[in-house]
Amino acid sequence: MISDQLAGTRIAITGSTGFLGTALVERLLRGVPDCRLVLLVRPGKRSNPAQRARREIFRNNAFDRLVEDRGKDEFWAEIDRRVEVVAGDVGHDGLGLDENGRQLLASCDVIIHSAATVSFDAPLDGAVEVNLLGPTRIAETLQDLGVTPHFIAVSTCYVAGNRRGYAPEQLLSDSPFHIDVDWQSEVAAARRTRADFDAESRSAERLTHFRHQARHELGAAGTPLLSAKTEQLRQRWVGDQLVDAGRARAVSLGWPDAYAYTKALGERALDECRGDIPVSIVRPSIIESAWAEPRPGWIKGFRMAEPIIISYARGLLKEFPGVPEGVIDVIPVDLVVAAIISVAAQGHAGDRAIQITQVASGTRNPLHYRRLVDLVSSWFTENPLYDRKGQPISVPEWSFPRRGAVERQLERVQKNLERADRALKLLPLRGRQAMINAEVEDRKEQVGRAMGYVKIYGAYAECEALYGVDNLLALDAGLDEADAERFCCDPAVIDWARYVCDIHLPSVVEHARVKTSGERSDPDARTARLRARVLDPERHLAAFDLENTIIASNVVFSYAWLATRNLRPRDRMRFTVKTLSEAPGLLALDQRDRTDFLRHFYRRYDGASVAEMDRLGPELLADHILTKAFPAALRRIREHRRLGHRTVLITGALDIVVKPLGPLFDDVICAEMSQLDGRYTGELVSVPPTGEVRAQALRDYAEANGFDLAESVAYADSSSDLPLLDAVGFPVAVNPETRLASMATKRGWLIEYWSKAGGGTDKLLPLGPLPTLRKSRK
């Protein structure tokens, strides 16, 4: 029996936090009670390997059966007794092991290497470091330790490449379709490619492009955020180029993507470097949810097919490439786990040959592409997903076009959406109208994902290779009756209609958390939940912007009101026309840099009488500010104060404008203008509190008063306020303009739509009968 053959053994596993690795750990603990495990786990950014293992492996629902059988306390006692976790990383020479880790690895009888960069669109250099060099690094470390345990490397059937017809269980070097590529040269080239793209990304032309792109996305968000976004875009560009380079290199050599290409060269490198270490290679096809173990439908994370299935069910993928009579080679994860454990129990034959076992269904129990699509279509026809309005989504009928046709159709849609996005960002939309742009952004992301699926997975849907499984069937045939039930690895046991419709699809839908009923959700329910968190008595501080957050006004209108109080109607009209003619330039400057705009505009106060401005302040409040105030904003300020929260107004508006609002707040932080001989100079005393300066002013205020910004709230309306909103734990977008509307939607922030009370003026500039503001300074 397998449990007897592996009794007393110590088994090291890499990749145990992944889908296959977690299933493997669970089955060994449950099915081989006398073995012990050593898990090589990479340290996390905020957790050590033991903490990661506890959170990402043992708290997974794969272990529910063990917890139920043993009881919670005994389960954790068994984990402590049978499992040792060490820091290790196959992406580094020597595996990153300390002395204790090296000793534990040296004591192991079996090494199961399942760690991999499994993403089909991984950057070239990352895939090379982990998938190509990972197995070799393990072999070299074992040689350095002077031990020869049975080394089982998990690869993939797709190392056979984009070939048609039969692909037997043999080394690629023994295949008549073998392409002689020097793996060491490929490693060196991949590392040079990273350096080359990184250098290109730092060119003046590229950096200027990234800066413009950052400004398009964030607007006048301030230098720190724009710089951070620019660097993020630069790094993303380098990653994207490496993904494209990996795909291009793989396709040039006959593999579908960088994953299969690096796995294939990883096998070749391991064969050359393994020395006397006995090696077995297990090659699964496309691993999907469990057939039976640890429970039917168990899955961890989204695999290859799930994003496509959900996009299809949502009506987003109108077409997908593929050969309808072709075979989609899918294998449930529990059959792969059973095969790996059986290979470990069988041991190595003892000769120098690498033993290869392919775990695939295509030759033994084929699932044809058209049948899969028909099963999925019929299931979602009977069990549709629902849109936001509570309407069932009809799934499209695929005609199985070639990849190029689908890609071109999606590219046309993407270009149209990009044009719409650029146009909308130029319009002065705000509030609910600005949400149109958020919807366009969401649609852009959906189309982008669909294009990615077609590029990444289309090659697998068009693959016509049939993978031999003679060694797998011999392995299964050698099991005794008890093991045949517990560790069956014969794909013939799968009933595809039952698996797809009764096991896999229900599990996919459950994990996707999609809308599966026609009950119309309350659109205000989520807003109410977020609002309750904002108004929790535990909050410390509530910071408010002024313009378009508390009042429907801006510095231009306030100045115009003050400047035209005593002008005759004809002069007032001239003032209005002149100001409106300057509007495009002022708007462009404001969108580029809020601080520069305020400095430029406040020059107009040069020579204004300080006494006269003080006299006009209360009149401005009554005649202008209060008529344009949002009643809901005033109520929200009072509510925060009632709850004991400190309230602060923090704005780039001048003190002469906001002074009358002082009684509403505990404190006011605003722009101040210097004075000379009783008149304003038009020059600011300090940098106005906008952008990153506003955020820093809030941090300084919170620190001086002992407030925790993680427990604080901020209200603002513009992307230039992003530093302020990012500084707090509970940001609120009020009547957001287009960029902020998109970002607030993506980040799940509370969005409030506040409006003026009826009866106030809607005029952009004063036109009615209104001391001349501007006088020359001596």
pLDDT in tens, 296-348: 999 987 766 777 888 888 887 777 777 888 888 999 999 999 999 999 998 87
The CA distance from 407 to 419, in Å, is 18
| In the predicted structure, residue 403 carries a pLDDT above the cut 70 | no
Please state the pTM of the whole predicted model: 0.80
Mean pLDDT along residues 272-291? 94
Mean pLDDT along residues 211-239? 89
Task: Look at residue 668 in the predicted model and tell me its pLDDT.
Answer: 94
Task: Look at residue 198 in the predicted model and tell me its pLDDT.
Answer: 96
Pick 486 or 559 by higher pLDDT: 486
Task: Look at residue 434 in the predicted model and tell me its pLDDT.
Answer: 67
Task: Look at residue 769 in the predicted model and tell me its pLDDT.
Answer: 39
Rounded to an integer, what is the distance from CA 675 to the centroid of its chain? 51
Task: Look at residue 433 in the predicted model and tell me its pLDDT.
Answer: 67
Task: Look at residue 134 in the predicted model and tell me its pLDDT.
Answer: 96
Task: Look at residue 773 in the predicted model and tell me its pLDDT.
Answer: 46
Cβ-based burial of 76 (10 A; exposed 0-12, middle 13-18, buried ≥19): middle
Task: Look at residue 307 in the predicted model and tell me its pLDDT.
Answer: 78
Q: Please count the CA atoms within 13 angstroms of the CA of 390 that sit on its side-chain side.
A: 6
Helix 691-705 to helix 223-252 angle, to the nearest 10 degrees?
120
The CA distance from 645 to 667, in Å, is 12
The CA distance from 6 to 585, in Å, is 77
Task: Please report which helix (H) or strand (E) contains residue 113, including its range.
Answer: strand 110-113
Mean pLDDT along residues 422-451? 72
Task: Look at residue 230 in the predicted model and tell me its pLDDT.
Answer: 95
Cβ-based burial of 594 (10 A; exposed 0-12, middle 13-18, buried ≥19): buried
The answer to whether residues 739 and 219 touch, using CB atoms and an 8 Å cutoff, is: yes
Share of the chain above pLDDT 90, in %: 55
Mean pLDDT along residues 388-398? 84
Task: Look at residue 776 in the predicted model and tell me its pLDDT.
Answer: 43
The CA distance from 261 to 124, in Å, is 10
Mean pLDDT along residues 229-249? 94
Mean pLDDT along residues 279-294? 95
Position 589, amino acid:
L
Mean pLDDT along residues 186-207? 95
Task: Look at residue 591 in the predicted model and tell me its pLDDT.
Answer: 67
- Cα–Cα distance list, 363 to 178, 340, 493 (Å): 22, 20, 13
The pLDDT-based confidence of 459 (bands split at 50, 70, 90) is confident
| In the predicted structure, residue 93 carries a pLDDT above the cut 60 | yes
Q: Residues 624-651: pLDDT tens digits?
A: 667 788 999 999 999 999 999 999 999 9
Q: Residues 256-275: pLDDT tens digits?
A: 889 999 999 999 999 999 99
Buried-state track 257-277, b at ≥16 Cβ within 10 A, e below 16: bbbbbbbbbbbbbbbebbeeb
Least confident interval from 35-39, 350-354, 400-404: 400-404
Mean pLDDT along residues 93-109? 94
| In the predicted structure, residue 522 carries a pLDDT above the cut 90 | no
The pLDDT-based confidence of 219 (bands split at 50, 70, 90) is confident
The pLDDT-based confidence of 277 (bands split at 50, 70, 90) is very high
Task: Look at residue 774 in the predicted model and tell me its pLDDT.
Answer: 47
3-class SS at 269? Answer: helix
Share of the chain above pLDDT 70, in %: 92
The pLDDT-based confidence of 602 (bands split at 50, 70, 90) is confident
| In the predicted structure, residue 762 carries a pLDDT above the cut 60 | no
End-to-end CA distance of the chain: 104
| In the predicted structure, residue 588 carries a pLDDT above the cut 60 | yes
Pick 432 or 106 by higher pLDDT: 106
The answer to whether residues 106 and 147 touch, using CB atoms and an 8 Å cutoff, is: yes
The CA distance from 124 to 262, in Å, is 9
3-class SS at 691? Answer: helix
| In the predicted structure, residue 378 carries a pLDDT above the cut 90 | yes
Question: Beta strands 673-676 and 679-684: pairing type?
Answer: antiparallel
Q: Residues 723-751: pLDDT tens digits?
A: 999 999 999 999 998 888 888 988 999 99
